[in-house]
């Protein structure tokens, strides 16, 4: 039986209604139960998630009432619901925030369900480790990915130059930007978005310098000189027309993909993640690809790492923890579910599911898979999970200072010094 929904109903999740159609099937203990699920992403991710939810309902008889928001809107809403004791049963979680949520008991440890409701046989060990906090399992990785640069191939063709590749440096980006200006591509599209407020791009740049965004004990892994150099790099790009203007970058609300610089036609490149290529390509007719972040100098690597793209966790206040654990098990193990999901959330973490999706991958999926599998000398070790205050430092400090420098309210020197001193103060208050 199929149920067609209006857009508003569809955005709230088809699976709860499909559960009604499937009522009466599945295990008796699951009958009538409904899980509430919340995740970030776009419509392409929602379509896949809802389809898997319907498979789960058909197999288990339990409904899934699902909703989603863009990244920037997701976290404030999740924080509000969690603080109010109304957290979803199934929460999409990020490596950046898992420590904070685990230590506040906002998500539940899953160890007691492993081997029973939660089957993890053959699960990649590094991906399991990424979901642990203080030795306990709090998140199930939904796929492996890496940061990546989203590239509009058509724009580079119009500029008459080769697109970036794995050897491209920041100096090369400058040369590419000058070529874009000379060719007046699409009336002034810039070669790259303003990356100065991108935490992953800063992290990658620092790692190439042998530094770190955060140390293993949760302190800053760089000093004011490094922060000043970072803001100065992008100020030069901005002043010389290499990256987008302050006004254009401000249009990116860190929410819907539709507001990003490549999708809006403001730039030909922007920081992204390997698993997001699939979603971005659905929004554009121009051919897209991904490549690594720029090297700081020729032959310098180690800035990238493979990490859990995201997790599913179980809400700490959930009254249906065992059923939620069974859902997580279905999501990562079921072969039909794997075929629906593809690699949109990252490379599957179980060999059998990887084999199941491989024959049906489209061109964008194949690019993402090959990128993550062939990082080579770009690859460095997985850093420790960031401290609980990392989210605040990212949203309330780095992004704000990036815009203040862009609009001329601060100099790179002032921003760099303030960034380090205020970030240290935030970490101290949170400890």
Residue keyed to tokens 């191939």 = 153
| Exposed e or buried b per residue across 358-378, where buried means at least 16 C-beta atoms within 10 angstroms of its C-beta | eeebeebbebbbebbeebeeb
Query: Do 42 and 279 meet the contact criterion of CB atoms below 8 Å apart?
Result: yes
Torsion of CA 308, 305, 290, 405, to 10 degrees: 100
Q: Which residues contact 218 (CB under 8 A, 6 or more apart)?
A: 386, 387, 427, 431
Residue 32, pLDDT score: 67
* Angle of CA points 176, 231, 41, to nearest 5°: 75
**Mean pLDDT, the chain cut into blocks of 10 residues (431 residues total):** 28 34 38 89 94 97 96 93 94 92 95 98 92 96 96 98 98 98 96 97 98 95 98 98 98 90 98 92 96 97 92 97 98 97 93 91 89 91 88 94 98 98 96 82
Domains of the chain listed by start with CATH number: 34-143+309-377 (3.40.190.10), 147-304+387-430 (3.40.190.10)
Q: How far apart are CA 398 and CA 419, in angstroms?
A: 7
Query: Do 259 and 283 meet the contact criterion of CB atoms below 8 Å apart?
Result: no
Closest CA to 61 of 18, 25, 21: 25
SS3 annotation, 326-369: HHHHHHHHCHHHHHHHCCCCCECCEHHHHHHHHHHCCHHHHHHH
Residue 31, pLDDT score: 53
Q: How far apart are CA 361 and CA 342, in angstroms?
A: 7
Residue 180, pLDDT score: 98
Radius of gyration of the chain (CA): 22
| Exposed e or buried b per residue across 43-67, where buried means at least 16 C-beta atoms within 10 angstroms of its C-beta | bbbbebbbbbbbbbbebbbbbbbbe
């Amino acid at each position: 039986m199929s149920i067609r929904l209006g857009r508003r109903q569809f955005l709230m999740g088809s699976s709860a209604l499909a559960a009604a159609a499937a009522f009466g099937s599945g295990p008796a203990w699951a009958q009538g139960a409904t899980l509430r699920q919340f995740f970030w992403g776009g419509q392409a991710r929602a379509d896949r998630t809802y389809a898997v939810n319907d498979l789960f309902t058909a197999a288990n008889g339990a409904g899934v009432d699902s909703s989603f928001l863009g990244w920037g809107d997701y976290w404030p809403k999740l924080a509000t619901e969690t603080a109010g004791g109304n957290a979803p049963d199934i929460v999409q979680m990020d490596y950046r925030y898992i420590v904070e949520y685990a230590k506040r008991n906002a998500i539940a440890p899953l160890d007691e369900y492993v081997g029973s409701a939660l089957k993890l046989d053959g699960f990649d060990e590094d991906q399991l480790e990424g979901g642990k906090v203080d030795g306990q399992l709090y998140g199930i990785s939904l796929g492996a990915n890496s940061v990546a640069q989203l590239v509009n191939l058509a724009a580079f063709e119009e500029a008459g130059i080769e697109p970036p590749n794995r050897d491209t440096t920041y100096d090369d980006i400058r040369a590419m930007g000058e070529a874009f200006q000379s060719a007046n591509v699409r009336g002034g599209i810039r070669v790259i978005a303003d990356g100065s407020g991108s935490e992953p791009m800063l992290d990658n740049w620092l790692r190439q310098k042998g530094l770190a965004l955060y140390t293993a004990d949760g302190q800053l892994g760089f000093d004011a000189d490094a922060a000043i150099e970072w803001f100065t790099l992008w100020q030069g790009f901005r002043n010389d027309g290499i990256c987008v203007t302050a006004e254009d970058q401000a249009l990116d609300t860190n929410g819907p993909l539709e507001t990003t610089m490549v999708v809006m036609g403001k730039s030909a490149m922007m920081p992204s993640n390997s698993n997001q290529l699939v979603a971005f390509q659905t929004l554009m007719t121009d051919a897209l690809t991904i490549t690594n972040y720029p090297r700081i100098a020729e032959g310098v690597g180690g800035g990238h790492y493979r990490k859990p793209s995201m997790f599913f966790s179980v809400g700490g206040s959930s009254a249906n923890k065992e059923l939620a654990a069974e859902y997580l098990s279905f999501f990562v193990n079921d072969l039909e579910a794997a075929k629906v999901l593809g690699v949109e959330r990252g490379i599957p973490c179980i060999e059998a599911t990887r084999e199941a999706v491989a024959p049906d991958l489209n061109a964008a999926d194949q690019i993402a898979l090959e990128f993550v599998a062939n990082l080579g000398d770009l690859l460095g070790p997985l850093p420790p999970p960031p401290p609980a205050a990392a989210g605040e430092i990212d949203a309330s400090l780095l992004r704000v200072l990036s815009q203040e420098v862009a609009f001329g309210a601060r100099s790179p020197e002032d921003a760099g010094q303030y960034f380090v001193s205020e970030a240290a103060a935030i970490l101290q208050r949170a400890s």
